[in-house]
A and B are shown apart, each in its own frame.
Chain A
Amino acid sequence: MNILYQFFPNTMDKTTEFFESILQTLQMTAAAGAVSFFLGLLFGLLLTLTGKGGLKENRPVYYVADKLINICRSIPFVIMLTALLPVTRAIMGSAIGTRGAIIPLIVGSTPFFARQVEAALAEIDRGLVEAALSMGDSPFDIVFKVYLREGVPAIARGVTITLISLVGLTAMAGAVAGGGLGSFAIMWGHQRNQTDCTYAAMIAILLIVFAIQWVGNLIIKKTTH
């Protein structure tokens, strides 16, 4: 404990805030991650099914979805945070704090994850889809029995990458008073020059990222045969 006081004097002064920040980061990641997971999966499937050679090839739908994702991905997240203020306020009732950060986080990570899903599904051998079709499967069957089953390891990889980037985005949400470890580092470490707070936040984020990566690898390993 003495060593902690020696290296992190300012952080140890406010352990309650620090742990609350960790909790907020986890909350934001989990909430935005869960919503992005479903939306991204949906968009990823939409791109796969309507894309060239897809089961429900549809140029206009693919074009719109593709461009929408590209546009969302090209807007820097810090700008997105402020640009989405009115939307956030309307949906969540507040544009600041953890609640205020969730909508921009979803908008920021869904397109990224959708691309990950699209890439994961593109890895699935086209022959498997053909075999399923030859056995009389409908596109609906194929989504659940082939894409969402054979794609599990690759999708798990996409989820891991997305969650890690999401942790990064939550830190940025701190810039607009979003709470979490980013906020903690800016408020104390940067603005009040208590550098050890920045390092403490950094270490906490690193540990979260490592944990996500570890769980992700475990799932990938368990689902690859």
Chain B
Amino acid sequence: MISIRNVSKTFASSSGSVEALKEVSLEIGEGEIYGVIGLSGAGKSTLARCINLLERPDSGSVNVDGMEMTSLSPRELRGQRRGIGMIFQQFNLMPSRTVWGNIAYPLKKAGLGREETDKRVRELLRLVGLEDKINAYPRQLSGGQKQRVAIARAIAVRPKVLICDEATSALDPATTLSILALLKQINREMGITMVVITHEMAVVKEICDRVAVMEHGRIVEEGSALSVFASPRSEVAASFVESASGAARINRLLDEKSPAVRIEKGQVLAKLTYMGTGANEALISQASRRFGVDCNIIFGNMEVVQDTTIGVLVLAFSGEKESITAAAEFLSRNNVIVEVIDR
């Protein structure tokens, strides 16, 4: 659906030039929710703006739905932009227009009559759950409500792509979750391809199918949200995963040799990592029973990414040395990654 090839963009400023994008390439499939995560200044927002050409890349190609964006005439580009919705961190609703007026804004260009426009606006308000706010002005709405109106406006003309530029960064965690749920619902029901720009791994974890990790204008890591979450390869990705996962805490405790992870003589401290189906089987209690070892759960954390569970358990095994080894082997055979931390 979206194919970005070798896109570079440099901004000139008084204090020298800034290379916002360096030879960035990525492919986004139809109907996919694609995350782009990075710290501020990593170039992710510039990348998003290169998709609808709000920023024109210095070089490289941007292809959306089979159209090479960089070679379109201004008029063609405007037409193509109508097929690419966008929502923003600061919502960017028109303050002088009511909710109705804001959602009707793009419909006027689409050539809808007054009655059809009204019908469509009401339909969209029902979808985003704000029917009672039809005559309110943006100033009278909460952040979450504003973003709902912005979403309704962005999808009003049934675009094929929706760009979400830090769409939840100005919202509190609970509102963030409700907006993400709405986006996911829209993605499922309408099949809109979504590009989600964010600096929060929690957002990626919640809705993204695939994710690109950006740093200093480059994509340093790319893959399914699950694989990046389960085994990040780059340092930035690892730190993002850490920020969104409770499992990071255990690593700190282990590093600090906290009393919480201190073990007695004869015990073995191990970290178990498992994914997907493994979580549905009673592996730990099986191991315990079959090999006669006691398992004391010191720490546990579970994340659900793309409907797959990623679990981390830290256990203190006690029992015969051989039994512990056999239990560890049993777990390994069942796709659990066992790391012995201390013995």
Which A residues lie within 8 Å of B97 (CB)?
149
Docked-complex contact A137 and B92, CB < 8 angstroms = no
- In the complex, whether A130 has a CB less than 8 A from a CB of chain B is yes
Give B57-109 interface residues, CB cut-off 8 Å to A: 74-75, 78-82, 84-86, 88, 90, 92-97, 105-106, 109
Docked-complex contact B54 and A130, CB < 8 angstroms = yes
How far does the Cβ of A40 sit from chain B's closest Cβ, in whole Å?
A: 21
Contact among B81, B90, B93 for A136, CB-based, below 8 A? B81
Docked-complex contact A149 and B109, CB < 8 angstroms = no
Docked-complex contact B109 and A137, CB < 8 angstroms = yes
- In the complex, whether A125 has a CB less than 8 A from a CB of chain B is yes
Docked-complex contact A128 and B81, CB < 8 angstroms = no
- In the complex, whether A134 has a CB less than 8 A from a CB of chain B is yes
Docked-complex contact A146 and B94, CB < 8 angstroms = yes
Contact among A127, A138, A150, A152 for B90, CB-based, below 8 A? A127
Which B residues lie within 8 Å of A223 (CB)?
96
Contact among A131, A135, A146, A225 for B139, CB-based, below 8 A? A225
Docked-complex contact B94 and A127, CB < 8 angstroms = no
- In the complex, whether A203 has a CB less than 8 A from a CB of chain B is no
* B140 nearest CB neighbor, chain A only: A225
Give A111-147 interface residues, CB cut-off 8 Å to B: 125, 127-128, 130-131, 133-138, 141, 145-146
**Interface class of chain B by DSSP:** mixed
Which B residues lie within 8 Å of A133 (CB)?
54, 81
- In the complex, whether B267 has a CB less than 8 A from a CB of chain A is no
Contacts A134-B84, A135-B109: A149 and B94 contacting too (C-beta < 8 A)? yes
Docked-complex contact B96 and A131, CB < 8 angstroms = no
Which A residues lie within 8 Å of B163 (CB)?
134
Contacts A150-B95, A225-B139: A131 and B88 contacting too (C-beta < 8 A)? yes
Complex CA–CA separation, A131 to B109 (angstroms): 14
* A152 nearest CB neighbor, chain B only: B96
Task: Count residues of chain A with CB under 8 A from any CB of chain B.
Answer: 19
**Interface class of chain A by DSSP:** helix
Which B residues lie within 8 Å of A137 (CB)?
78, 109
Which size bracket describes the interface of B in this complex?
20 to 34
Contacts A135-B105, A135-B106: A225 and B82 contacting too (C-beta < 8 A)? no
Give A143-188 interface residues, CB cut-off 8 Å to B: 145-146, 149-150, 152
Which B residues lie within 8 Å of A152 (CB)?
96
- In the complex, whether B330 has a CB less than 8 A from a CB of chain A is no
Complex CA–CA separation, A145 to B74 (angstroms): 19
Give B153-174 interface residues, CB cut-off 8 Å to A: 153, 163
- In the complex, whether B299 has a CB less than 8 A from a CB of chain A is no
* B106 nearest CB neighbor, chain A only: A135
* A150 nearest CB neighbor, chain B only: B96
Docked-complex contact A125 and B90, CB < 8 angstroms = yes
How far does the Cβ of B154 sit from chain A's closest Cβ, in whole Å?
A: 8
Complex CA–CA separation, A210 to B84 (angstroms): 50
Q: What are 27 A-B contacts defined by CB distance under 8 Å?
A: A125-B92, A127-B88, A127-B92, A128-B94, A130-B88, A131-B92, A133-B81, A134-B54, A134-B84, A134-B85, A135-B109, A136-B78, A136-B79, A136-B80, A136-B81, A136-B106, A136-B109, A137-B78, A145-B105, A146-B94, A149-B96, A150-B95, A152-B96, A225-B95, A225-B96, A225-B137, A225-B138
Listed from nearest, the 10 A-B pairs whose CB atoms lie closest are A131-B92, A136-B82, A134-B86, A127-B92, A225-B137, A136-B81, A136-B78, A135-B106, A150-B96, A127-B90
Given contacts A131-B93, A134-B52, 16 further A-B contacts (CB under 8 A): A127-B90, A127-B92, A128-B92, A128-B94, A133-B54, A133-B81, A134-B54, A135-B105, A136-B80, A138-B74, A138-B75, A150-B96, A223-B96, A225-B95, A225-B137, A225-B139
